[in-house]
A and B are shown apart, each in its own frame.
Chain A
Amino acid sequence: MNAGERLLKDYSQNKARLAGHSMPWLTGIRECARESFAVQGLPEVSDEDWKYTKLTQLAQANYGFAERLDSTFIASLADNVLNKLIFAAEHRLVFVNGHYNESLSTINLLPEGVILTSLAQAIEEHAELLSSTLGSIADYATHPFTALNTAMLSDGVFLLAQKNTKIETPIHCLFISTATEQSVVNYPRLLLLLDESAELTLVEHYLDMAQLKSGMAQTLSDHNFINHNLTNCVTEVLLSPHAHMDHYKLQYDSTDTSHIAAMYVEQQRASTFTSHSYSVGAALARNDIQIKLVDSQAECILNGAYLVAGRQHVDYHTQIEHLAPGCNSRQIYKGVIHGRGRAVFNGKVIIHSQAQQSSANQLNKNLLLGEKAEVDTKPELQIYADDVKCSHGATVGQLDEQALFYLQSRGVCKKDAQNWLVNGFVSEVLKLIDNPVLREFIQLTVIAHLNQLAGGDVKSLQELISTGEGVMPCH
């Protein structure tokens, strides 16, 4: 039995435990997706979209269904994570190994016209709404992991913001994974629907306890992937005319896990979407971001950074389709690759013939810090309209020697000088984060991680948060 078949077996064994397993509209969706996955199978390197990303470890693992944890453990999570390691949030949905946990979550008063619940609850309470929207944006026909997620989806986030509603503070969706006896797989699913002129900020945050517990000092090299968990998540976003969403994703998994994520966004007229995506942990992290600008004047901005070391592998595949005139898209991704780390960036922009006056630009910059570090970066522009402004650039480089000399000549030791330059490199993306609370939190996470990768003074995230040290002022 291969990995794909094992995952399917997991499905047939556990489908009766999934939320809404007796609802025909949902089982219909699941069965179709299951079919599609069975046909597609797991991607191979012969598949163009997976050319540089091998799934060897994933293919060898034997995943089980993630069980719920007992209440004492949950209580300790509240103490150790929520009270110490996270920014303050008014609205927070917490998931532990994929299951929504009400006691850890807080949802404060929301404006009228907003529904925010766990997906499991939404399946029970808003079946009608869901049946017409779930899966309508996330196209699984050419993406086996999206098919798999759709077959197995059970919990996650459902958000509906009706016309003109605005949520001022970020909605924090925190997915915690804990050490498990057996390798497990989680299938978080987010469905986010913004009606006309609705505005909000949402944070999708994947946090692995194993990564934290090690005091962030664990050596990243020579891992023997004992307990190889998988998170396979899918996010669907629908932005109606003039809606605006700031989406943050912070992926901070342990180096034992694989994280395979896809986000699908459909943008209607004059809607705006900003994505800030940070990939820090995981043995293997794959992020697919697919945006469709379906009506005029829509705008999307994608920013992100990935930091890998050891034998970590990170892969960003972005795809922006300009389907209507006068839309804008901008992307900046930066990568720092230590050790034998490997990064893949593929930025596809398709400008269809009707999409005149489109403007699209894309930039991917990489810093290679290890002699065996590798990056494959590829812009892919398909332009079928003639009146467009497009640009793209990709760089792969090392630290600027002259800048290193300059810093050292002021008394900063070599290691610190390197750190400063790397931090500076990443901070060009970090400073694009508008929300000050999130900017500070993400900066701290990134800086702590970079320091760790550089083998410098290891300060735990907690320590950094308590002193606020290392925060670069952004102006």
Chain B
Amino acid sequence: MLKVNNLHVEIQGNEILNGLCLSVGAGEVHAIMGPNGSGKSTLANVLAGHEDYQVTAGEVLFNGSNLLELSISERACEGIFLALQYPVEIPGVSNVQFLKTALNSQRKYHQLNELDAMDFLQWLKTKVQQVGMEEQLLYRSVNEGFSGGEKKRNEILQMLVLEPKLAILDETDSGLDIDALKLVAKGVNAFRHVNTPKQQRAIILVTHYQRLLNYIKPNFVHVLLNGRIVQSGGPELALELEENGYASFVDKAS
């Protein structure tokens, strides 16, 4: 589904990613771990099309076509979703309007008819329950004054509403309480397990904690260090990292 080859990315002249390779197949869950500042969010943002980052070399293919030439919104419509590490507050734009506009923009892109307010709300409410979000948060401005955990739930709600093909969750687990973590994991798992193989969804989980991986079982775990992936393995790699930290990789890298 996603193929990243030799990706080099700069921000304001500083190279953050240098030669990153990653391949994610349909239906797979990949966990990416790595120390602060190693470039995890950079990777996530570049995939979503953030314009602050310049790709200086390499390629990214999404379902066979060049992702890098698509605009931010086209990528979203093609099925890329990024749950932000720090969700943005948008004063004056109501959450429910935001969700409806986003969904209808994507439906329009796929030449589907737009949902009317009634249908949309009905359907939205089931999703809201799934992530255990207070319904009143729908009527507040997007993320404005939301608690850290509420913002993260809101990201997952957006994912459930937009049903992307590839969801990139950037530290969605941080800031969630124990119950919320379970709920969010449940939501993600429900999202992940769709029956028809054609619709199989992939997930990239950026996290610092092994705990999340108890609830969402990854197929692969990668260690990102200094802008490239230095080690890949199965779920046991996460346990090992939890034990020993990144010291051994830092040594190897230097």
Q: Are A406 and B92 in contact (CB under 8 A)?
A: no
In the complex, B217 has a CB within 8 A of chain A: no
**Docked complex Cα distance between A59 and B94 (Å):** 45
In the complex, B16 has a CB within 8 A of chain A: no
**Docked complex Cα distance between A411 and B84 (Å):** 15
**Docked complex Cα distance between A420 and B90 (Å):** 9
Q: Are B105 and A411 in contact (CB under 8 A)?
A: yes
CB distance from B59 to the nearest CB of A (A): 21
Residues of A within 8 A of B (CB): 400-403, 405-414, 416-417, 420-421, 423-428, 431, 472-473, 475
CB distance from A415 to the nearest CB of B (A): 10
A431: chain B residues at CB < 8 Å are 92
Q: Are B77 and A411 in contact (CB under 8 A)?
A: yes
CB distance from A411 to the nearest CB of B (A): 4
Residue from B49, B93, B139, B141 having most chain A Cβ neighbours under 10 A: B93
Majority-rule SS of A interface residues? helix
What string of 1s and 0s marks CB contacts (under 8 Å) between B56-91 and chain A? 000000000000000111011100011010011111
In the complex, B184 has a CB within 8 A of chain A: no
Known contacts: A406-B88, A410-B102. The answer to whether A473 contacts B50 by CB under 8 A is no
**Docked complex Cα distance between A416 and B71 (Å):** 14
CB distance from B125 to the nearest CB of A (A): 15
Known contacts: A424-B93, A428-B92, A475-B94. The answer to whether A406 contacts B102 by CB under 8 A is no
Q: Are A416 and B101 in contact (CB under 8 A)?
A: yes
Q: Are A409 and B72 in contact (CB under 8 A)?
A: yes
A475: chain B residues at CB < 8 Å are 94, 139-140
In the complex, B98 has a CB within 8 A of chain A: yes
In the complex, B96 has a CB within 8 A of chain A: yes
Q: Are A403 and B72 in contact (CB under 8 A)?
A: no
B94: chain A residues at CB < 8 Å are 472-473, 475
**Closest chain B residue, CB of each to CB of A430:** B92
What are the 10 closest A-B residue pairs judged by CB atoms, nearest first? A424-B92, A410-B102, A408-B72, A411-B76, A424-B93, A427-B92, A411-B106, A406-B88, A475-B139, A411-B105
Q: Are A411 and B96 in contact (CB under 8 A)?
A: no
Q: List 10 A-B contacts (CB under 8 A).
A: A405-B50, A405-B72, A409-B72, A410-B81, A412-B101, A412-B105, A416-B105, A420-B101, A426-B92, A472-B94
Q: Are A408 and B88 in contact (CB under 8 A)?
A: no
A-B contact count (CB 8 A): 95
Q: Are B82 and A409 in contact (CB under 8 A)?
A: yes
**Could you list 12 further interchain pairs (A-B, Cβ under 8 angstroms) beyond the known A407-B90, A472-B97?**
A407-B98, A408-B76, A409-B72, A409-B75, A409-B76, A410-B162, A416-B105, A420-B93, A425-B91, A428-B92, A475-B94, A475-B139
B102: chain A residues at CB < 8 Å are 407, 410-412
What string of 1s and 0s marks CB contacts (under 8 Å) between B21-49 and chain A? 00000000000000000000000000011
**Contact among B72, B82, B87, B90 for A421, CB-based, below 8 A:** B90
**Docked complex Cα distance between A416 and B87 (Å):** 19
CB distance from B140 to the nearest CB of A (A): 7
Q: Are A424 and B90 in contact (CB under 8 A)?
A: yes
In the complex, B172 has a CB within 8 A of chain A: no
Q: Are A473 and B105 in contact (CB under 8 A)?
A: no
In the complex, B242 has a CB within 8 A of chain A: no
B81: chain A residues at CB < 8 Å are 409-410
**Docked complex Cα distance between A420 and B52 (Å):** 21
